[in-house]
Amino acid sequence: MSEQTNIDDKLDQLQRAEGPLLEVKDLQVDFTTDDGRAVHAVRDSSFSVYPGQWVAIVGESGSGKSTSAMACLGLLPGTGKVVGGSIKLNGTEISHYTQKEFVNVRGSKMGLVPQDPMSNLNPVWRIGTQVKEALVANNMDVSHEKRSDLAKALANADIEIKSEGDETFLGSKELPELLEAAEQALVGIGVEGDAFTKKMGYFRSEWVPGSETRWRVADDLIKAGVKDDDAWYIAKKYVTGSSMEDRIAGLLDEAGLPDAATRARQYPHEFSGGMRQRALIAIGLACRPELLIADEPTSALDVTVQKKILDHLQDLTDSLGTAVLFITHDLGLAAERAQHIVVMYKGQVVESGPSLEVLQHPQHPYTKRLVAAAPSLASQRIVSVEEHGQDASAIMEHKVNEQSLETADTIIEVSHLTREFKLPRTKDMFKAVDDVSFKVKRGTTLAIVGESGSGKSTVSNMVLKLLEPTSGTVTYNGSDIAQFKGKSLLDFRRHVQPVFQNPYGSLDPMYSIFRSIEEPLRIHKIGDKKSRAARVRELLDLVELPESVMRRYPNELSGGQRQRIAIARAMALNPDVIVCDEAVSALDVLVQDQVLHLLNDLQAKNGLSYLFITHDLAVVRQIADDVVVMQHGKLVEHGTTDEVFLHPQQQYTRDLLDAIPGGKLELGLNLD
């Protein structure tokens, strides 16, 4: 602990002595529209990043957070232009830099980890080649580590670095000889048996060519008991520099990519999203920039992967002394990772300060609103209230309806549901859903939680009878839905309605809002023209949208508004059950909160039952009574929301709960 304080003090001193690494003052960024109007995307925004510090910019989409970051890199899209203010990097003004001048600072001084791992790697080049490009572009010495002054200063606390050569990388050619020498050295000092195997195993996993340096090899040997001089002798003899390939593999390994040397020869389409993001992190850090701009680096990934990658990134940047400008929409995540938070709204910084302070005592009404709405914080709040031995129900938006869960009748019952898909070009079958059973009670909400590939959406499609199960049954009000045909199917459709994930895809762009909401009424031949129009008005009122929206088209509405239209459409036939397949996942926090409230209100008013599919466990707390956790097609855990949150039985559920951002935060209880 005291060592840590020591380092913190040292860091603080250094930061004060060096001043801010990046200093943005009164930044203004304009975009020009087609008809020549200027749109102010960022106005009078100021923030700064100190060496070795994580600073988060938080805001919803369109708040100007990414634009501010891109302005620092000189990579504004389209017509974007810095029209005022200053951006200083290490005290040098860069806001007026030409693209040629920016080339000199990009990569080497400022790196980028972009948002969408799917589109940010060029599909036609090997991963390794794309890492290599960064090294070549900045003339990086691939056989020696480039360590920032900060990292050096911090490392000094650990071990004395003797000379420049100590930063030489281990090469793959020398690795076998080095391991042999280490073996002999261990034997020489009398290490044997389990201790020997353990130490050698440790060396094998730690000594990655192109990443491990001479002094660290020496340090490892010394810590294993080898005498200082011997250790340094071995390290100097066998750690003599790495090739380009070694360095690429080393970088990928540092970013947490297993089997990096082989992976480097693969193409992006052979990588999963998480692996691509790791490759992008390797690229962003390849030239050891002093500042890394991470633009929502994990928002496209599963929560557990997100946590792993961010943990890794944090370790890596800490050890390298890299400062990180972290762009995110998640306040909980920002507060958990960064020391300093900048909240942006409509192109302006509305509040900034030390993370916890901002979170515990938000001052600006927008920040207050954000803090109140963030699902990750909400569930955290509940936990911390309970830890203080108070009644949490007062601050819960959705209280588990225990009574209904026990007494109400079952409206949807899924038993032993299994669905197999044939894998393309092979004869193998893939079980997307494997023996899943649960019941939805009338008037309650059952949430299915799982990451991508867990089979949760396949379940929802089978419940909606959009997909036939391979085996198992779904019953609605006691009758097997597989038997429904013609009229009975139409009747089933009338009572079980879906709301899908993508607010941009689920409404026909050619249909006016009126036609979209009216469609179910027309399909089921309900009412005449006049009564249908009246019903559409009623429904719009139900989802709190003005009547005038009727004449509009989906492209004119925001994601949240479209989702409310989709809910209105689903409500048109007075259904019993609504299946929400990731219905709020694509929405900004505040909008998400609004839609969740709407769903809760509708349930209270109309006694609806929900089957709520989501990847976000945090949201579950705000809406569900019952939770089913799925992984790889199997049901992992099933219980009431309180049980699952308070006493998770399975490791996977615990991992999911841990991955909710903000888990380590101590939140204040006074939210006024």
Partner 1 sequence: MGKYLLRRILQMIPVVLGTTLLVYALVFALPGDPVKAMFGDKPVNESVAAQIRAEYNLDKPFLVQYLLFLKNAFTLDFGNTFSGQPVIDEISRAFPVTIKLALMAFCFEAIFGCVFGVISGLKKGKWYDSVILIVSLLLISVPTFVTGFLGQYFLGVKWSILPVTAGSNPGFFDLLMPAMVLGSVSMAYIIRLARSEVSSNVSLDYVRTARAKGMSNRSVIFRHILRNSMIPVVTYLGQDLGALMGGAMITEQIFNIHGIGFLTYQSILKGEANMVVSVVTLLTLVFVVCNLLVDMLYAALDPRIRYA
Partner 2 sequence: MTDINTTLPGQERYVAPLEETPLQTVDTVDESAPATSMWSDAWRTLRRNPLFIISAILIVFIIFVALFPGVFTKTDPNYCTLDDSLEPARPGHPFGFDMQGCDVYARVIYGTRTSLSVGILSTLIVVAVGTLIGAIAGFCGGWIDAVLSRIVDIFMAIPMLLGAIVVLQMFRTVTSIWKVVLVLALFGWVSTARIARGAVLSSKNLEFNTASTALGSTPMRNLFRHILPNSLAPIIVIATTSLGSYIVSEATLSFLGIGLPSTTVSWGGDISNAQSILRTDPMVLFYPSVALAVTVLAFIMMGDAVKDALDPKSRTA
Residues that bind partner 2 (CB under 8 A): 12, 15-16, 19-20, 23, 48, 50, 53, 339-340, 345-346, 348-354, 356-358, 363-366, 369, 464, 466, 489-490, 493-494, 496-498, 500-502, 505-510, 512, 519-520, 523-524, 545-546, 548-549, 551-553, 555-558, 560-561, 566, 569, 573, 590-591, 594
Question: Of partner 1, partner 2, none, which one sits near residue 548, judging by CB under 5 to 8 A according to partner kind?
Answer: partner 2
Q: What are phi and psi of 566, to 5 degrees?
A: -60, -35
Within 8 A by CB and 6+ apart from 429, the residues are 420, 421, 422, 423
Q: Least distance in Å: CB of 667 to partner 2?
A: 13
Question: Of partner 1, partner 2, none, which one sits near residue 123, judging by CB under 5 to 8 A according to partner kind?
Answer: partner 1
Given 269, 522, 551, 654, the residue binding partner 1 (CB under 8 A): 269
Question: Of partner 1, partner 2, none, which one sits near residue 239, judging by CB under 5 to 8 A according to partner kind?
Answer: none
Give the residue with the Cβ less far from partner 2, 220 or 576: 576
Given 103, 300, 356, 372, the residue binding partner 1 (CB under 8 A): 103
Interface pattern 614-633 for partner 1 (x via CB under 8 A): --------------------
Helix, strand, or coil (residue 12): helix
Question: Of partner 1, partner 2, none, which one sits near residue 566, judging by CB under 5 to 8 A according to partner kind?
Answer: partner 2
Q: Least distance in Å: CB of 454 to partner 2?
A: 20
Give the residue with the Cβ less far from partner 1, 111 or 559: 111
Q: Which of 612, 580, 582, 632 is nearest to 436 (CA)?
A: 632
- Does 134 sit near partner 1 (CB under 8 A)? yes
**How far is it, in rounded angstroms, from Cα 392 to Cα 22?**
42
Helix, strand, or coil (residue 584): coil
- Does 244 sit near partner 1 (CB under 8 A)? no
Q: Least distance in Å: CB of 69 to partner 1?
A: 11
Give the residue with the Cβ less far from partner 2, 330 or 582: 582
Question: Of partner 1, partner 2, none, which one sits near residue 206, judging by CB under 5 to 8 A according to partner kind?
Answer: none
**How far is it, in rounded angstroms, from Cα 247 to Cα 172?**
9
Give the residue with the Cβ less far from partner 1, 6 or 122: 122
Within 8 A by CB and 6+ apart from 155, the residues are 147, 161
Q: Least distance in Å: CB of 456 to partner 2?
A: 16
Q: Which of 412, 405, 519 is nearest to 462 (CA)?
A: 412
Q: What are phi and psi of 324, to 5 degrees?
A: -125, 130
Give the residue with the Cβ less far from partner 1, 101 or 177: 101
Give the residue with the Cβ less far from partner 2, 394 or 510: 510
**How far is it, in rounded angstroms, from Cα 236 to Cα 234?**
5
Longest dimension (CA), the chain: 95
Q: Least distance in Å: CB of 35 to partner 2?
A: 9
Give the residue with the Cβ less far from partner 2, 55 or 657: 55
**How far is it, in rounded angstroms, from Cα 319 to Cα 212?**
13
Give the residue with the Cβ less far from partner 2, 242 or 352: 352
**How far is it, in rounded angstroms, from Cα 10 to Cα 99?**
36
Give the residue with the Cβ less far from partner 1, 111 or 554: 111
Within 8 A by CB and 6+ apart from 227, the residues are 189
Question: Of partner 1, partner 2, none, which one sits near residue 124, judging by CB under 5 to 8 A according to partner kind?
Answer: partner 1
Interface pattern 135-174 for partner 1 (x via CB under 8 A): --xx------------------------------------
Q: How far is CA 264 from CA 144, 207, 229, 270, 283, in A?
A: 20, 18, 36, 11, 12
Question: Of partner 1, partner 2, none, which one sits near residue 12, judging by CB under 5 to 8 A according to partner kind?
Answer: partner 2
Question: Of partner 2, partner 1, none, which one sits near residue 121, judging by CB under 5 to 8 A according to partner kind?
Answer: partner 1
Q: Which of 204, 203, 209, 205 is nearest to 226 (CA)?
A: 203
Q: Least distance in Å: CB of 210 to partner 1?
A: 18
Give the residue with the Cβ less far from partner 2, 440 or 591: 591
Within 8 A by CB and 6+ apart from 360, the residues are 667, 668
Question: Of partner 1, partner 2, none, which one sits near residue 575, judging by CB under 5 to 8 A according to partner kind?
Answer: none
Question: Of partner 1, partner 2, none, which one sits near residue 75, judging by CB under 5 to 8 A according to partner kind?
Answer: partner 1
Pairing, β 626-631 against β 445-449:
parallel
Interface pattern 56-85 for partner 1 (x via CB under 8 A): -----------------x-x-xx-------
- Does 36 sit near partner 1 (CB under 8 A)? no
Check: CB of residue 68 under 8 Å from CB of residue 336: no
Question: Of partner 2, partner 1, none, which one sits near residue 299, judging by CB under 5 to 8 A according to partner kind?
Answer: none
Torsion sign over Cα 114, 118, 120, 126: positive
Question: Of partner 1, partner 2, none, which one sits near residue 86, judging by CB under 5 to 8 A according to partner kind?
Answer: none
- Does 287 sit near partner 1 (CB under 8 A)? yes
Tokens 């690229």, residue? 283
Question: Of partner 1, partner 2, none, which one sits near residue 345, judging by CB under 5 to 8 A according to partner kind?
Answer: partner 2
Polymer length of the chain: 672
137's tokens:
């572009």
Q: Which of 538, 548, 549, 547 is nearest to 571 (CA)?
A: 538
Give the residue with the Cβ less far from partner 2, 27 or 591: 591
Alpha helices in 32-188 (DSSP H): 65-73, 99-105, 127-137, 149-156, 175-188
Q: Would you give the distance in Å from CA 260 to the centre of its chain?
A: 23
Q: What is the 3-state secondary structure (H, E, C) of 516-580?
A: HHHHHHHHCCCCCHHHHHHHHHHHHHHCCCCHHHHHCCHHHCCHHHHHHHHHHHHHCCCCCEEEE
Torsion sign over Cα 380, 386, 390, 396: positive
Give the residue with the Cβ less far from partner 1, 273 or 639: 273
Residues making contact with partner 1 (CB under 8 A): 73, 75, 77-78, 99-100, 103-108, 110-112, 114, 116, 119-125, 133-134, 137-138, 267, 269-270, 280, 283-284, 286-287
